[in-house]
Amino acid sequence: MKKTLLIGLLFCGFTSFAQSPLVDLSAVKKNGATVTVNQKLITVNWPAGKSGTAKMILDLDKSKPLIRSISLGKGKILKEITSSLDPAFVLTVGKRTLSPNSGGWDVFFDRVPKKPYKSYLVSIDKRSAKVTTSGQQTIVRISGARADRFEGAIEVTYYNGSPLFNVAAVLSTQTDSTAILYDAGLVNKGSLWKSMAWANVQDQMHHITPQPSDVSKNVEVKYRTIIGENPTGSLALFPAPHQYFYPLDEAFNLKFTWYGKDYHQLIPGFGMGIRQDPLGDNRYVPWFNAPPGTQQRLNFFCLLAEGNGEQALAEVKAFTHGDAYKPIAGFKTMSTHFHNEFISEVALSGKPIPEKPEFVDVLKKHGLNIVKLAEFHGPGHPKGPDNDRLRELQALFEQTKRLSDSNFLLLPGEEANNFYGGHWLAFFPKPVYWVMSRKADEPFVTENPALGKVYHIGNSAEMLKLLELEKGLAWTAHARTKGSTGYPDAYKDEPFFKSDTFLGAAWKAIPADLSIPTLSQRVLKLGDDMANWGLKKQVISEADIFTITHQNEMYAHLNVNYLEMDKLPNYSEGWQPVLDVMRKGRFFVSTGEVVIPSFNIDGKKSGETLTLSKTGKATVNMQLDWTFPMNYAEIVSGDGKNVYRERINLNNTRAFGNQKFSWPINLAGRKWVRVEAWDIAANGAFTQMIWIE
């Protein structure tokens, strides 16, 4: 013990003696990585899992590149993969439209690029550095970053157990009503990469030999990744798979990577990196929120590989399971709210109907078992005339039945914007013929000789009656934003909302804000509000996407519901089991990288009711499976008025883990509880409520 203590004191003394006045090491603790300082050089060695050891040397000399060298290898033999690189960031600043009518900071209907905006190169002054350790992470923070009205620092974070690191410009402004986006990358200040690689949208590897004269170009890639290759290894550069993509109605591939010299006419020299398109899909383009005083984290990831680009990309793809949702025993994956309008634009358009439509193949390849459509939201005749409406529904039912099989259910559904207020999704457990209008002398239900019952709906009471008769469900689409701004709050006291037929609300990452460690909290907060209103509602995820093609960047905009069910129902027999699981809350929501194979509190699962002991003490039991290292879990509960949060730090985790956790919690006085879990790339999963009595 004395010997160990002496060695520790000697080590601390050496570090203190060696460190530069520019570098603060006071927050460094032993975690498996080592940090040494020699004048203006900071050397970080971190355990890189099966790849051995990774090493980066940072140079605080203002006349030299920040990244002096990056190496990877096993034992004491480390091979330098690259050297003389500078991180580069371009911050684009625009004006956010803020008003209560548009949802305030929750706005989606904003066209930021239609207003004046400007791009700025982030300057890096390298004034000083502070190194901290946090669990299995080591962070070097370099002060002196600035762009226009934003200022802050550069952070490089290393993750034990993987040859993974993150580079971020953490910037803040005091200017209100600001919207931003950013481009970023690494600039070669030494020799160029011997070759560069990426997967094209046909999922084929593409290699080029860069030249110093190559003018910067934007590249359409798959898996959001561009790779620099050298004889000693490769470096893959990519963004957070979901957080980087601000919300849009379309998932077009907008060439999210770049390489070459003089990028954006702002970054001098030759580089490679990630980029965002200011114009988006040319519809509503809201960019990212940047509220005053928030720490906006403009960041990208890098993964080192000993081999070529193919090996590097394979290791990057593992973080998103190859852009597919991982199968979990006892669960089926479901995604909702797709406006591809196959019926109007193909099946009834006179065009040849493909035997295997591309959109179905795309959804299957993403690992989806159940897909609920939202047809006729723009085209179609939801209010009639009857001949047109019934013809459209008949085609919808025929095509969804034809395209379903034993492993994939394509289910009919619509997004309505009448009767209830705002926009909402209707979902029945079998084909139901209904028209969204009724004349004064028209019956509520009639019998069609060919189709059976046909309903005509004229108001919210009749809509509720239809859902009750046909055992259907409804929920608020994009609650508190878009066409549902102000909803469901405006109808929370209405009979239809309090009914068991109204499921709750749908979650999607709107708005986007790079200062929070999660994706959008808008509907998570609404879920807590609904529970505090005394209503047992659920939060289901939604995609809300139009075009679906292999070329698109689908995965970035997708999310999934893992429904607790062993097998898929047969389309012909109806899909009541799907709605039953949803109604009971027996599911969790995930972006794909974090999943929850099991969850209970004192044996009670989500959707069930927990009876507390007099002490109020309980135990949260949760199994997590993840790819990126975890960040934290949060136990969220409420007492009918207030919301309480207890955060559990998970930064001792490494990449690609699976672990069962048990956390004690005191729930005295609480009426409901749920749990969220988020990783270091803002990917996550959350449960539904457990109710407390």
Band of the pLDDT at 76, cuts 50, 70, 90? confident
688 phi, psi to nearest 5 deg:
-90, 175
Asked if residue 16 has pLDDT above 50, the reply is no
pLDDT surpassing 90 at residue 7: no
CB-based contacts of 77, cutoff 8 Å, min separation 6: none
Residue 102's pLDDT is 84
Classify each residue of 88-103 as buried b or exposed e, where b means 16 or more C-beta atoms within 10 Å of its C-beta: bbbbbbbbbbbeeebb
Query: What residue ranges define each of the domains in the chain, with the CATH number in brackets?
Result: 23-319 (2.70.98), 331-592 (3.20.20.140), 593-692 (2.60.40.770)
Question: Could you give the percent of the chain with pLDDT greater than 90?
Answer: 96
Judge whether residue 11 has pLDDT over 60: no
For the stretch 251-260, pLDDT in tens is 999 999 999 9
Query: What is residue 101's predicted lDDT score, i.e. its pLDDT?
Result: 85
Mean local confidence (pLDDT), 464-489 = 98
Confidence of residue 20 (pLDDT cuts 50, 70, 90): low
Instruction: Measure the CA–CA gap between 541 and 75, rounded to whole angstroms.
Output: 46
**DSSP symbol at 50:** G
- The pLDDT of residue 15 is above 60: no
Mean pLDDT of the region 154-167: 98
Residue 5 above 70 pLDDT? no
Q: What is the dihedral of CA 156, 161, 162, 167, to 10 degrees?
A: -10
Indicate whether 18 pLDDT > 90.
no
Mean pLDDT of 613-628: 97
Indicate the burial class of 658 (C-beta count within 10 angstroms; 0-12, 13-18, 19 or more). Answer: exposed
Which residues lie across from 621 on neighbouring strands? Answer: 600, 662
pLDDT (average), residues 326-348: 97
In 3D, which of 231, 228, 213 has the Cα closest to residue 270?
213
Tokens matching residue 37: 């300082």
Three-state SS at 171: strand
Q: Which of 192, 187, 213 is nearest to 122 (CA)?
A: 187
pLDDT over 90 at 46, yes or no:
yes
Q: Quick one: pLDDT at residue 10?
A: 34
Average pLDDT in the 329-349 region? 96
User: Which structure tokens are listed for 624?
Assistant: 């997590």
What is the tens place of the pLDDT at every residue in 501-515? 999 999 999 999 999
The per-residue pLDDT of the chain, averaged, comes to: 96
